[in-house]
Amino acid sequence: MAGLGAERIAATAFQHRILLNELTSRTGSLEEAFMELTADSVEYLAGETR
């Protein structure tokens, strides 16, 4: 559930009688965001021959 906080996800799961054994928040790094945004603009891929 992207965009929702851990507390909101836990509450929703509880309302639907879903047991969550562990719930952790994960935030992406600036590098991950950059790589995702520029993934389609790569000129040369690793291992590609010219």
Q: 11 in a domain, yes or no?
A: yes
Of 37, 23, 26, 42, nearest to 12 (Cα)? 23
Count CA within 13 A, CB hemisphere, residue 7. Answer: 0
The reply to whether the predicted model has a pTM over 0.75 is no
Domain range for 35 is 6-41
Grouping H, G, I as helix, E, B as strand and the rest as coil, residue 49 is coil
Q: 49 in a domain, yes or no?
A: no
Section 8-14 average pLDDT: 93
pLDDT at 42: 63
Q: 46 in a domain, yes or no?
A: no
pLDDT at 18: 96
Domain count, the chain: 1
pLDDT at 14: 95
Q: 47 in a domain, yes or no?
A: no
Q: 50 in a domain, yes or no?
A: no
pLDDT, one tens digit per residue, over 15-49 is: 999 999 998 888 889 998 898 888 887 666 666 56
